[in-house]
Chains A and B, each alone.
Chain A
Amino acid sequence: MITLTDQPFDPGVLLSAFCRDRTETGAVASFVGLARAELGAAAILELEAYPGFTEGEINRIAQQAVDRFSLDDFAVVHRVGQIAPGESIVFVATAATHRRAAFEACDFLMDYLKSRAPFWKKETGPDGARWIEPKPQDHADIARWET
């Protein structure tokens, strides 16, 4: 399941719902990304998506994760629009028979989401607004999965 939302979400509620009614899944791993204040440099984070295209691209990579790690299921919830410091930006959960696959698939999905997912990110702070592009570390993180 892939959801883009412009409303704040409660990751605990999402995780409980994701775990419900599973009898063969032995492991669920999850990750929550929060908006940082950057010590006041970033007052407001704004994320733009291309509705339809963005979900389609995320789904393409999520299906790779399903095949590669034999996932039972996954969930990706991503905020769009304006996000205040401390709010959740992204929730990823993965379900597998055993824990290693669930952990690794969650890590894989986050590395993709942070570097290649079709979002455009703008930070507005005391010095005005600027568009953010992936950092070298984000590219290095995704390269780990390409061997």
Chain B
Amino acid sequence: MARVLLFGRLSDVAGWRSRDIASDTLTALRDLLCGEDAHLAEALRAPGVQVALDQAIVRGDAALGPRSEVAFLPPMSGG
């Protein structure tokens, strides 16, 4: 199970901040999230949304382990 975290406007759109989801890859995880929530799908496609795997920004696909932490990060606002 990967721990999935949503930040900023993404958690408002989805109505949750953290969930444990079984998935083997980032792409499969994203497809699963988008398939169950069209509003979240649209928000994840917005410009500037980044993905962090185990607290490091990744681009493209990546394999997920049983204790992976995946965070979807909308554009950062600064403090």
Contact = CB atoms under 8 A, between A and B. Distances in A.
Q: Is the interface of B mostly helix, strand, loop or mixed?
A: loop
A47 B79 contact: yes
A50 to B, nearest CB: 6
Contact of A131 (B9, B71, B78): B9
A33 B7 contact: no
Interface residue tally of chain A, by bracket? 20 to 34
B73 interface: yes
B79 to A, nearest CB: 5
Contacts of A115: 78
B78 A116 contact: yes
Given A53-B55, A53-B71, A48 B7 contact: yes
B79 A113 contact: yes
Given A48-B7, A53-B71, A131-B9, A121 B77 contact: yes
A30 B5 CA distance: 34
A96 interface: no
A36 interface: no
B76 A118 contact: yes
Nearest to B9: A131
A136 to B, nearest CB: 13
Contacts of B66: none
Contacts of A117: 76, 78-79
A89 B78 CA distance: 12
A116 B79 CA distance: 8
Interface of A: 33, 47-48, 50, 52-53, 56, 78, 89-90, 113-122, 131-134, 138
8 contacts: A47-B79, A50-B5, A53-B52, A113-B78, A117-B78, A121-B78, A131-B9, A133-B77
